[in-house]
Structure 1
Amino acid sequence: MSHQLRYTVNCSLLFTELPLLERPAAAQRAGFSAVEFWWPFVEAVPPDRQVDAFVNAVTDAGVQLTGLNFFAGDMPGGDRGLVSWPKRSGEFRDNVDVTVGIGERLGTQGFNALYGNRVDGATEQEQDDVAVENLGLAAQAAARIGATVLVEPVSGAPRYPLKLAADALKVIDRVQAPNIGLLADLYHLAVNGDDVDRVIAEHTDRVAHVQIADNPGRNEPGTGTLPLDHQLSALEANGYAGWVGLEYKPSTTTETSFGWLPFERR
């Protein structure tokens, strides 16, 4: 990889052979100084002792928590966020304070607000209006600690309406908060058929976080055909100076899946 961007390890997809609270230390031992997680608890408002245990695991490992997802429902069961889900809007709002509270303790700068699938019993207009309201509230909360809310196009979820960068940017434009930006997952965008090079050329200034995996397979860079190094270099040339989240499924073990990245670049 020829660019100089910094990497953060997504410990919800990597190091899954270890218990969750042991993963930050494993990332540190592998040479990384930063980690990110999806929502690491079962419910929207977990017990304080669970939150403390998570915060301590990150702190004790000596790594930075660069990113955290808001509670997104039952991800293994197919949920992809509560932001646009009218019946669960209250749950999302209750979760915002917990999430931002963790971020305040760990210096986290990015919070991914998964938009949510289309649901029966609500019109698309109703869902989109609820989403804009919820994203506005989340952005206000994140602004208190100088952090950003992220909106992400996602693949592999047929009822998730944000497929392309343009879909997410349209939502972001409606929210009109200064601290809300695009999460450009180069894997999801490619799978959904977006013109990733054009997105980078035209919208790097809107990109608040980047994640990568190769395609096909969503495994580590070098296992597929995506021009990730070229795209990361283009992002950097256009002024992107944020983190690059390694959000891939290791094709073998987590350790060997870092073979593409020299130790000194981690």
Structure 2
Amino acid sequence: MVDPRFRYDVNCSILFTELDLLDRAGAAKAAGFRAVEFWWPFPAAVPSPSDVDAFVRSVRDEGVRLAGLNFFAGDMPGGERGVLSDPARSVEFRDNVDVAVEIADKLGCKTFNALYGNRVEGVPESEQDEVARENLALAAKAASQIGAAVVVEPLSGAPAYPIKTAAEALAVIQRVSGEAGVDNLALLADLYHLAVNGDDPAEVISRHAERIGHVQIADAPGRNEPGTGDLDLQGLLDLLADNGYSGYIGLEYKPSGASADSFEWLPRDLRA
């Protein structure tokens, strides 16, 4: 399953996790890739300058491109999926935006993922949504200063996460774009999450290709590498190309074995 029309990047927050964070970009390069992406790579929303510098060096010194970066999303291993919509953490998110933009500017990254956040009990949903729109607009304006976009992602496997379909994500994007006058919000089409949540990924691509800012892939079921499940990833990649998508394809899957062995489906001469 290959398509020479695409550029591929490795999500080093789900692949190469057997290695220290600062060694993962080098491992991706050794596997033949020239681009990587990360979830927020620090435990805190505002890490120390020395930690930021070390991360930037770990990517830049390997000569690979940072293709995508998540804003701070809270305790992901503990089940949190973003702080964008949490009124109590709004300042934390906004402080993080400045650091994320600084990192992206240094590494040429043009895509930020703003995870919406799980619903907070005891807080009206309307209040959470209003805070989310305000923070998303702020993030989009900050990203625009370096020519970058902010993507909104539907997620599976998180019952309290309210954005599960492409239509729900696009509704948020449309409202924020209209209210805030920003034009750099887009859909993150993770084909695995869309399929697991009941969306038809082919229909999403056919109807909304021009609104897709980034694509991630994993096979379903299982969320492992392509070829381990039933999802027609080759057909979906063909459809993306036919509909004009020319961005990165992020490999965001759980390897069924060693990370370095999970790329056999993609010939080495196409990885770069």
Q: What CA distance in whole angstroms lies between the structure 2 residues aligned with 1:148 and 1:259?
A: 31
Conserved 8 A contact 2:2-2:266: no
Residue in structure 1 matched with residue 263 of structure 2 by the alignment:
258
Question: 1:153 aligned to 2:154?
Answer: yes
- Give 1:8 deviation, angstroms: 0.4
Counterpart residue type for residue 23 of structure 2: E
Q: What CA distance in whole angstroms lies between the structure 2 residues aligned with 1:77 and 1:49?
A: 26
Identity level (%): 65
Question: 1:104 aligned to 2:102?
Answer: no
Q: What CA distance in whole angstroms lies between the structure 1 residues aligned with 2:60 and 2:127?
A: 41
Residue in structure 1 matched with residue 214 of structure 2 by the alignment:
209
Q: What CA distance in whole angstroms lies between the structure 2 residues aligned with 1:95 and 1:187?
A: 28
Counterpart residue type for residue 23 of structure 1: R
TM-score by structure 1 length? 0.99
Q: Superposition pairs for residues 234-253 of structure 1, below 5 Å? A: 234-253=239-258
Residue in structure 2 matched with residue 51 of structure 1 by the alignment:
52
Residue in structure 1 matched with residue 190 of structure 2 by the alignment:
185
Residue in structure 2 matched with residue 116 of structure 1 by the alignment:
117
Unaligned 5+ segments in structure 1 are none
- Give 1:2 deviation, angstroms: 4.0
Q: Superposition pairs for residues 161-172 of structure 1, below 5 Å? A: 161-172=162-173
Counterpart residue type for residue 117 of structure 2: G
Q: Superposition pairs for residues 21-100 of structure 1, below 5 Å? A: 21-100=22-101
Match of 1:225 among 219, 230, 249: 230
TM-score by structure 2 length? 0.97
Q: What CA distance in whole angstroms lies between the structure 2 residues aligned with 1:219 and 1:226?
A: 11
**Would you say how many aligned residue pairs link Structure 1 and Structure 2?**
266
Q: What CA distance in whole angstroms lies between the structure 2 residues aligned with 1:82 and 1:42?
A: 13
Q: Deviations along 1:71-128, whole A, 9 cap, x unmatched? A: 0000011100011111101100000000000000000010000000011121111111
How large is the RMSD of aligned CA atoms in angstroms?
0.6
- Please say which of residues 115-124 and 155-164 is displaced more in the overlay: 115-124
Counterpart residue type for residue 115 of structure 1: Y
Conserved 8 A contact 1:2-1:233: no
Conserved 8 A contact 1:168-1:182: yes
Q: Deviations along 1:209-250, whole A, 9 cap, x unmatched? A: 000000111000000000011101101110101000000000
